[in-house]
Amino acid sequence: MKPHAELLLDCRNATGESPVWHGGEQALYWVDIPARKLCRWQAGTGGFTHWEAPEMLGCIAPGARSGRWVAGMESGLFELQTQPDGQLHSQLLAPVEHAQPGMRFNDGRCDRQGRFRAGTMVMNMGLASPAGALYGLDQEGDLKKILDGFITPNGLGFSPDGRTVYISDSHPSVQMIWAFDYDTATGTPSNRRVFVDMNPLPGRPDGAAVDEDGCYWICANDAGLVHRFTPDGQLDRSLAVPVKKPAMCAFGGSGLDTLFVTSIRPDGVDLSDQPLAGGLFSLQPGVRGLPEPEFAFPV
């Protein structure tokens, strides 16, 4: 019997993305991109809190100190600090020179060494502009372009040993997932190869997570599924969620054995067949994930 998706919060996110489990707080953090919100759900109480950011938030990763986050936004990478009074303090770490107007950061996370990696995209996906790039922010505070030529970079994930990095392009005209060798000393990807061609499979590749067995889980946007691929790119299983647009998944819970899934609530669409669109869900997939590495902010 396949795991049943449980609704944790009917939060109605416009675009719920970048879920990250915070073990110290036993809480899940994530963002609602167009709403400019950093969100938190606490496992013990079910309590929900959110903070408003000055720009759209594309992705987050935890800092080494409690309450601090590194975030990919519109104009660059920021340090965020949640405040007891409900405010969110933001400080620019590194500005980005976008290839063209109307761009923002999208998917991102830290590698196993704690270096932040995030991709940019043109917000108007109808333009199908390959102006997106993958950037890297190291602990010294230097922002460098690592890869380019993406329309909608997504699905960033690292193998348990950190020596393979996965990246997808979720644009409807692409729908590919690639694997790269990853130099853990320099943070440099090489030897690009097709990991999975999602075109013949249900759904577009969106946000992803890697479990302790090295299998790659990716949300199948438009198909209401989360796919699991083995390290050799074979589809292992597909789990259903009760919405069409799951956006990103993350392992969490006290045993890192819960798969949390954020989702999208599209505007101007009849949602009578998916009233929970934009909600936060959980699954018990029978496998464990890995803790998210923390980013060491520059002094």
CATH code of residue 270: 2.120.10.30
Q: State how far the Cα of 14 lies from the Cα of 5, in Å rounded to an integer.
A: 20
Reported as a single tens digit per residue, the pLDDT across 134-148 is: 999 987 788 999 999
Helix (H) or strand (E) holding 72: strand 68-72
Each residue of 153-187: pLDDT tens digit?
999 999 999 999 999 999 999 999 999 999 999 99
Residue 160 CA, chain-centre distance (Å), reads 17
Residue 235 lies in a domain: yes
Q: Is the dihedral of CA 216, 240, 16, 203 positive or negative?
A: positive
Instruction: Check whether 5 has a pLDDT greater than 80.
Output: yes
Average of pLDDT values for 199-209? Answer: 98
Residue 295, in any domain of the structure? no
3 state DSSP class of 126 = helix
Residue range 57-76, pLDDT digits in tens: 999 999 987 779 999 999 99
Domain assignment of residue 202, yes or no:
yes
- Percent of the chain residues past pLDDT 70, beyond the cut: 99
What is the Cα–Cα distance from 82 to 86, expressed in whole angstroms?
Answer: 7
Tokens for 33, please give them.
Answer: 């991109």
289: in domain: no
pLDDT-based confidence at residue 1 (cuts at 50, 70, 90): very low
Residue 2: its pLDDT value, please?
A: 65
- What span, in angstroms and rounded, lies between the C-alpha atoms of 97 and 21? 30
> What's the mean per-residue pLDDT of the chain?
95
Give domain status of residue 261, yes or no.
yes
The mean per-residue pLDDT over the stretch 206-221 comes to 98
Task: Identify whether 299 is part of a domain.
Answer: no
**230 is a domain residue:** yes
Catalytic residue among 206, 236, 257, 267: 206
Q: In 3D, which of 132, 148, 145 has the Cα closest to residue 187?
A: 145
Measure the CA–CA gap between 278 and 161, rounded to whole angstroms: 33
Please indicate whether residue 85 is annotated as part of the active site.
no
Per-residue pLDDT reduced to its tens digit, 89-107: 999 999 999 999 999 999 9
User: What residue numbers bound the domain in which 146 lies?
Assistant: 6-283
In a domain, 220, yes or no: yes
Burial of 271 (0-12, 13-18, 19+ CB in 10 A): middle
State the total domains in the chain.
Answer: 1
Element holding 110 (H helix, E strand) = strand 103-110
